[in-house]
């Protein structure tokens, strides 16, 4: 849900990216920081923490480091450049995490997936049926 706009810039010789939609995401160094800019974004941050606590052992979620007041810090993952894997990974995510088994979700968006330690992981997992139907 964060990929409507993508601004890239150089900060002290390091690339920093900013992305936003319901949250603004700063990709700095080895971390991704997600700040809510709407109530829906705040709910997504809180939900991401809950999903992480329940399903972190599945290995399909990008590692969440902390969540405070709807603000999320995750390990930064490598973007993916192809979608061949996508349907298989979406099916896997929906089977491992029942709350993702909804029709109005963005699991099919390759921008919500990345690679962490050579494994495909879901980067944006704050969505559920209630949040997906808010707007």
Question: At residue 126, does pLDDT exceed 50?
Answer: yes
Residue 10 to residue 25: CA distance in whole angstroms? 16
pLDDT attached to residue 111: 85
Distances (CA, A) of 51 to 3, 18, 58, 111: 21, 24, 11, 19
Residue 131 pLDDT: 77
- Please report the pLDDT score of residue 115 as a whole number: 93
pLDDT, greater one: 26 or 130: 26
| Residue 11, pLDDT score | 46
Highest mean pLDDT among 67-71, 82-86, 103-107, 116-120: 67-71
Number of C-alpha atoms within 13 angstroms, CB side, residue 42?
Answer: 4
Residue 19 has pLDDT above 70, yes or no: no
Q: What are the structural domain ranges in the chain? A: 5-130
pLDDT at 5 over 70: no
């Amino acid at each position: 849900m964060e990929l409507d706009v993508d601004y890239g810039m150089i900060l002290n010789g390091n690339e920093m990216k900013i992305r936003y939609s319901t949250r603004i995401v700063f990709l700095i160094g080895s971390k991704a920081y997600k700040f809510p800019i709407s109530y829906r974004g705040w709910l997504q941050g809180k939900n991401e923490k809950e999903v992480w606590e329940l399903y972190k052992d599945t290995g399909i979620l990008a590692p969440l480091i902390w969540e405070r007041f709807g603000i999320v810090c995750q390990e930064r993952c490598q973007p993916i450049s192809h979608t061949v894997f996508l349907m298989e990974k979406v099916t896997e995510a929906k089977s491992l995490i029942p709350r993702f088994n909804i029709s109005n979700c963005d699991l099919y968006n390759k921008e919500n997936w990345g690679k962490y330690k050579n494994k495909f992981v879901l980067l944006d997992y704050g969505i559920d049926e209630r949040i997906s139907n808010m707007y």
